[in-house]
Amino acid sequence: MDTIWNPWHGCVRYSPGCAHCYVYRRDEAVGRDPAVPAPTSTFDLPVRRDAAGRYVLPSGSVVYTCLTSDFFLDLADPWRPPAWEMIRQRDDLTFVIITKRVERAHACLPPDWESGWHNVRICATVECAEVAQARMRALLALPARHRSVICEPLLGRIDLSPYLGRQIESVTVGGESGPDARPCDYAWVLDLRRQCAEAGVAFRFKQTGARFVRDGRTYLVPRRLQLSQAAKAAIDLPSAHDPI
């Protein structure tokens, strides 16, 4: 089972990919300040139990963590240690942590992290060439059992080839959604796919985004079709490496 755990909500814009952040869009629509993060009512979800004493999240679940904030946000520093504690306790779950702040991650790891916990996947967002070098170097330097890259919203051509290899398990690519979405050019997607193929890294084209460009022509893709249109391209690649 896949589930979402948002231990805190709210974030501060950090890089080009944040310009049209959906957290900002949704919070501002209801008069809430998205730049003031706070713990949520589901802060303890991983260790929550039902009336029979069983964990609410079943063993084996994949838990997408902190999707309405950033797990390594500095304003969240006080809440992260208890969050790590719950992640440690639920070593039967897989926690997927997607971050634009991978450069901060090393300083935010728990004391007994060592070479990484088997139940945590760190995914660095790399949305454009300007951030690629610093984030990929930080991701590769980070002790972790599982490392992935998310190029979403893909904002331009990115050269990841110097960094791809066994240490990176997958690259996921997608366009931007929302009314002000910036274009995602299929040529950029295919270029990343080629880099992954050459390095033997798993590749996934997750969604087209709302403004998809192919052969110089722009297509406005409704939200409900963005995933299925990407799937129709059928360009995903498996990894050529054994899991680390």
Tell me the per-residue interface mask from 118 to 137 with ligand SF4, x by CB under 6 A, - otherwise. --------------------
CB of 55 to ligand SF4, least distance (A): 27
For position 100 contacting ligand SF4 by CB under 6 A, the verdict is yes
CB of 78 to ligand SF4, least distance (A): 18
Position among 14, 55, 113, 219 found at the interface with ligand SF4 (CB under 6 A):
14
Q: Which among 14-22, 194-202, 205-213, 231-239 is the span making contact with ligand SF4, rule CB under 6 A?
A: 14-22
3-state secondary structure the chain: CEEEECCEECCCCCCHHHCCCHHHHHHHHCCCCCCCCEECCCCCHHHCECCCCCECCCCCCEEEECCCCCCCCHHHCCCHHHHHHHHHHCCCCEEEEEECCHHHHHHHCCCCCCCCCCCEEEEEECCCHHHHHHHHHHHHHCCCCEEEEEECCCCCCCCCHHHCCCCCCEEEEECCCCCCCCCEEHHHHHHHHHHHHHHCCEEEEEECCCEEEECCEEEECCHHHHHHHHHHHCCCECCCCCCC
Position among 4, 16, 18, 82 found at the interface with ligand SF4 (CB under 6 A):
18
Position among 61, 69, 172, 208 found at the interface with ligand SF4 (CB under 6 A):
69
For position 21 contacting ligand SF4 by CB under 6 A, the verdict is yes
Which of 24/212 has CB closer to ligand SF4? 24
Which of 17/46 has CB closer to ligand SF4? 17
**Number of residues binding to ligand SF4, judged by CB under 6 A:** 10
Interacting residues toward ligand SF4 by CB under 6 A = 11, 13-14, 17-18, 21, 23, 69-70, 100
